Structure formats: structure tokens, C-alpha cells
Structure 1
Amino acid sequence: MNNEDITLTAGDAEVIVRPGSGGRIGGLRIGGTQLLRQGDRFGCFPMVPWAGRIRDGRFLDGGIVRQLPLNSPPHAIHGTARDGAWRTARVTEHEAVITHELTDPWPHSGRVTQIVALAEDSLTLTMAVETYDDSFPAQIGWHPWFHRTLDGVDVALDFTPAWQEERGADHLPTGNRIDPKPGPWDDCFGMPGGVDVTLTWPGLLELKVASREEWAVVYDEQDEAVCVEPQTGPPNGLNTCPRLVTPLEPLEATTTWSWRRL
């Protein structure tokens, strides 16, 4: 099937899915207001088969050290799927299913499936990585770029993490967990009860980013956007917190964004 843009609608919510642009969510409009920063690098892209930075682009795969391209020197960042084409498997009015085949430079074959499901007051993204061959470590994450300002109103972030991963000079977690510090952030936080972050544009909209996963990177160092990124592990997690994909057990994760008018 083709990889043309897909439009889903529910009530006054509209989502654009772009299989041909790395499987990203190209836009989310609520009542005509665009919530996601526009552009080929933005929207909300899937981070798979790893999320965030991998130190020096190297990870231990069984007993083998694998080397990935350093697309954010000196590290590899955000996986390979956002740079590849996805294919449309199924579309209904409220749901799209798209798939991506893992290939070079990732050293293993496998398939990623993403389900995009829109309701009148929520968007649910579900991703799975499966293999029919070798087992391998992997991560899943999402990288949304929410507009910092809507209709002249700046966003406020509210979340209560159990800890913050101490960030080293190389931008990677040191392995120490510290008390959460005030922003601005390009930092990973731990939420053992599940990711729960609320973005509020006062007087306009409240949007909650939730996931059963316990890791989220919050990035708000840019003027234009704020990113809240649910992940199955921390940055460099292929080395420090690997999740194994096997022929019998895929890696699956879900995030739901729910909203209400204020």
C-alpha cells in the first residue's frame, strides 16, 4: 500500500499521519488550533529501535559491540525509523496502522508497527517492535514538538517525577538519580507509576501526556516548542536498561494524549 499522508478526524480533532516522512504525526489540530510545530523535522516522530542518545553510537548486542552512525556526534540519536519510509497497512475514519521494516544501519531485521487512534478528546499511539529472526535489544519512544505558545498564551508544564537522571557533560545520564531540578531541561525523569505530564495553555487548553512506561525526557530549551517524550528506557538505554525483542515476545509501548478545553 502507499505511503501518502493520512487524515484522521473525530469531533473537532484532526490528525495528519505521514508514513512517507518517518512515520511521524505531522499535525494535531483541536478546534482548528495546531498543537504541533510544523516542518519535516517536527510534528511527533517515533524513536525506534532506540530513543535519545546512544553513547558513541555503540551498544552491546549479546557479546558483540555494534557501531551505529554518529548522526548527532559524538553520539547516535533517536533511532533509524524516523529517517525511513513507512507503509500504510490499514486506515479507518479514526485509526491508521503503519509499518516499517528495520534495515541498515540497524544490524537486525524486524518490523515496527504503529497504531494511531484518534478520539474526540484523545490521541493514542501504540508501537510494537517484533522480530522473526534474532533477538536484539531495543527501545520505543515518541518525540512530540508541542507549540510553546498558542494564540499568544505560553504553556505551563506540570509533572511530579520520582527522580531526575543526573546529566553528564556528554548529555547522557551518569547513572546517578537526583532530586528533580528546575528547568530549562533536556533531561530524563523517572515516574515509576507511569508517565504523567500536563501541559496547560491557561484559558485555552489542558493536554495530558500519559504512558504506562516510567521514563520521559522533557526538552524545553527552544523558544518555539516543548517536548515531552515517553520512552521505554532512559537515554543510552540500549546499554544501561535494554529491553529484549525476541521471536516470542515483541516490545510494545503506548502513549495517550488527552485534552480538555479551559
Structure 2
Amino acid sequence: MYLPAVHRTGCGSRTSTSQTTTREAGTLAAANHCFARAVPELLPVATAAIGGLARAVRQCRLRNQADRNAACLLFEQTPIPDADFMLTLAHSRLEAVLAPETGGCIARFSLRHDGGIQQLLRPLAHDHASPGPLDMACYPLVPFSGRITNGRFRFGAEDVALPPDPICVPHAIHGRGWRAPWEVLEASANTARLRFVHKPEDAGGWSWPWSFETEQHFSLGLEGLSVAMRLTNLSSAPMPGGLGLHPFFNGRASARLQARLPEVWESGPDGTPTGLAPVPEKWRFDEPRDMKDVDVDHCFSRSEGRFRVDWTDRPFALRIEATGAPHAIVYAPPGEDFFCAEPVSHAPDAVNRPEREDVTGLRTLVPGETMELLCRFLVEEA
């Protein structure tokens, strides 16, 4: 009999009913799912036990992370998630730790190898006092990827003014999912399904005028980790939509990236794109390229959705295969020991670009329509 590994590293006083509701629903969903399949007659006992745990959780006090969000009123008003709530998936030699209430992020993705643990993505530090999404191994991008200039755009009859994100004032960036708690709908030994629902009237100032539902389905197998993302328009009017994942790769000093990325979106001083151009030699990744001296923060177009990351001092490599992601962001900031290769559905600031949607990748979702993105992180011998 299996119960998903749900653990905390600390506790504190809850600040909103929605947080405890999310925790209880996720924990109960996981317990009910597993017990119902394994030992149906024990389901009432399990539900009572988990319910008692949830009641105890109500008495805890969450660490105050308001100082992390002080740059913007929106994030001061957003309910503070329980950063200590983690969900662990395991299969054979692989383990993935999820942080549902901290942006639906992947906190760690690791491989047991030769008697030790090898981190496949940059891991959340075990001793981190108050982690946020920027400290995680990977976070979701939904309902858009990249920047929106000054947080403003017009779509249909809507004039939209999103609040600035603290990391790139005055622009909005990466949507809402990475800044919000996600609900655990289902969990098993090696799978989990998370959901986040946005309603404008409950968004606490994040002024995206369309309702939507988004899910992430994580599945850990012998080959690696797959993440299936879905975005559904729940509103009564068409809305712009986009999806992506933002993984961090560590060990940049010995890392190499290989990907076929034939075009690049040139950008201005503020980082927003100005137009498409052929990729210069310094950013070509057709052959494995050392990342230690690469300085780039750009979106590439006509991506095949395939990347390969290897390390000269590690016996394994990661192959990334994505569908529904014709664009890719490569981010390698100077002075850091990480870089990012992000499969995304559209270019930054696509809502403000004059090009057609088949060029920018932006989707227009009619009411009830769903778009999807699938990304697989496959482990292979180097």
C-alpha cells in the first residue's frame, strides 16, 4: 500500500481559507485515490486520519514571505502559499519533488547513480528558509510566456493593464501560474495532477480579464519525467493563450547545449522583441556548445522542440522533447552557474506584435477551447 510522500519542513499560521482548502483537497485527493485503488475497505479510516492532519495544519502559522513580494501591491495582496508542502514522486532510479503551493513548481529532479544522488535540474536547496518559484528547478508559464511590455495590450474589446512583476518592473512576465498555489487533484507513487483556476473576481488585483483553468500532469517513468500542460478558456469571450516551462540547468561550467534554433527574435534594451532575424554564430547550438561563456537572453523561433544538455564531467545527459512549443527561450546570464532552455508556445510580447499568430505562436482560444504542451525530460547515458 502506498501513500504519496507529502512532507513539510516547518509550519505556521494560515493566512487564508483558500490555502488550507487547497492543502486539504490535495492531501485528501491523493489519499483517496491511492487507498481506493489499493485497499478500498480502509478508505474511511484513511480519510479520517488525513482529515485530522488537515485540522492540525489549520493551527499552524505559515512563514511570512511578504518581503519577497513587496515590490508590487499585487503580490502583497496575494495569499501567501505554504512553501513547505512538497509532493514526492519516485520510479526506479528517478525522483521528482513537486511544490504545488509554490507555483506548481518542480523543486527537484534527481537520479540515483553509482551510490549517490545526481541532480538533473538545478535543485531547490534543502536548507532554504522561504523558497519562492525563482528558487525552484522548474516553473510553469501560463497563460503566457515572457514579457508583456508595460503589462499592457489590447485584445478584442479588452484593454488590459497587468500589474508589473517585481523581477522586471514595469513589465508583466510569465503569466500567473508560477506565482499562485495549485491544487493537487490526483497523486500516486509516480504521477500527480495539479490544477490552477483563475477567476478575475478572485484574482486579488491580477487584472487578466478572462477566466481560465490550467493543469499540469506529471508522470515519472523509466526514461524520465513528462509534464503535460493544458490551458482552457472558461470565459464567454475569446482570450489570448500561451504555455511554457522554465527549467534551470545547473553545472554550467561543464554543460553543453545542443538544439536546432534557426531564427531569433532580436530585442531592444528593455528585453522585448523587435523582429525576427537569422541566428548569429555566437548563438548557434546545432552542435553541442559549451555554455560557460555564452551570454544570451533571447527567444528563438521555428524550434523543433528538441534540446540535449550534457556535462563533460557527468556520466549522463538530458534530452528534452516538447510538442506544442515552436519557440524556445535560451537564458544564460553572466556570472551564474545555471542556464535555461525553455520550451514555449509563443514569442515574448506576442499580444503586442504586428505579425500573424502563426509567426508569433500566440493562440486565440475561443470559449471552452483547450491548448496543450507536452515536455519530456529524458535521461540517457552521456
Tell me the TM-score normalized by structure 2.
0.64
Q: 2:235 aligns with which of 133, 136, 142?
A: 133
More helix by share: 2
The worse-fitting range, judged by mean Cα deviation, of 99-108 and 112-121 is 99-108
Report the Cα distance in structure 1 between the residues aligned to 2:170 and 2:278, rounded to whole angstroms.
25
Report the Cα distance in structure 2 between the residues aligned to 1:239 and 1:174, rounded to whole angstroms.
11
The answer to whether structure 1 residue 211 and structure 2 residue 319 are counterparts is no
Q: Deviations over 1:63-110 (max 9, x none)?
A: 322000111212111111111110000112221100001142122211
Report the Cα distance in structure 1 between the residues aligned to 2:364 and 2:268, rounded to whole angstroms.
26
The answer to whether structure 1 residue 238 and structure 2 residue 351 are counterparts is yes
Residues 60-79 of structure 1: matches in 2 within 5 Å? 60-71=154-165, 72-79=168-175
The answer to whether structure 1 residue 2 and structure 2 residue 26 are counterparts is yes
**3-state SS of 2:101 partner:** helix
Larger relative contact order (CA 8 Å, sep ≥ 6): 1
Does the aligned pair in 2 maintain the 1:184–1:221 contact within 8 Å? yes
Report the Cα distance in structure 2 between the residues aligned to 1:36 and 1:197, rounded to whole angstroms.
14
The worse-fitting range, judged by mean Cα deviation, of 40-49 and 178-187 is 178-187
**3-state SS of 1:169 partner:** coil
Tell me the TM-score normalized by structure 1.
0.92
Residue 373 of structure 2 aligns with which residue? Answer: 253
> How far has the Cα of 1:59 moved from its partner?
2.0
Look up the equivalent residue of 2:173 and give its one-letter code: I
> How far has the Cα of 1:126 moved from its partner?
1.0
Report the Cα distance in structure 1 between the residues aligned to 2:254 and 2:302, rounded to whole angstroms.
25
Look up the equivalent residue of 1:198 and give its one-letter code: R
**3-state SS of 1:227 partner:** strand
Residues 43-82 of structure 1: matches in 2 within 5 Å? 43-71=137-165, 72-82=168-178
Report the Cα distance in structure 1 between the residues aligned to 2:242 and 2:95, rounded to whole angstroms.
28
Q: 2:308 aligns with which of 198, 213, 227?
A: 198
Report the Cα distance in structure 1 between the residues aligned to 2:221 and 2:367, rounded to whole angstroms.
32
Does the aligned pair in 2 maintain the 1:155–1:200 contact within 8 Å? yes
Structure with greater Cα Rg: 2
Residues 152-231 of structure 1: matches in 2 within 5 Å? 154-182=254-282, 183-192=294-303, 194-202=304-312, 203-212=314-323, 213-222=325-334, 223-231=336-344
Does the aligned pair in 2 maintain the 1:139–1:237 contact within 8 Å? no
Look up the equivalent residue of 2:234 and give its one-letter code: Y
> How far has the Cα of 1:181 moved from its partner?
4.1
Report the Cα distance in structure 1 between the residues aligned to 2:159 and 2:210, rounded to whole angstroms.
13
Report the Cα distance in structure 2 between the residues aligned to 1:181 and 1:25, rounded to whole angstroms.
33
Extract unaligned runs of 5+ from structure 1: none
Residue 250 of structure 2 aligns with which residue? Answer: 147
Report the Cα distance in structure 1 between the residues aligned to 2:311 and 2:141, rounded to whole angstroms.
26
How many residues are treated as equivalent by the alignment? Answer: 258
Residue 35 of structure 1 aligns with which residue? Answer: 120
The answer to whether structure 1 residue 99 and structure 2 residue 211 are counterparts is no
Distance 1:111 1:205, change over 3 A: same
> How far has the Cα of 1:261 moved from its partner?
2.5
Report the Cα distance in structure 2 between the residues aligned to 1:225 and 1:69, rounded to whole angstroms.
28
Q: 2:223 aligns with which of 118, 121, 132?
A: 121
Does the aligned pair in 2 maintain the 1:209–1:228 contact within 8 Å? no
How many percent of aligned residue pairs carry the same amino acid?
27
Q: CA RMSD in A?
A: 1.7
Does the aligned pair in 1 maintain the 2:210–2:234 contact within 8 Å? no
Does the aligned pair in 2 maintain the 1:50–1:238 contact within 8 Å? no
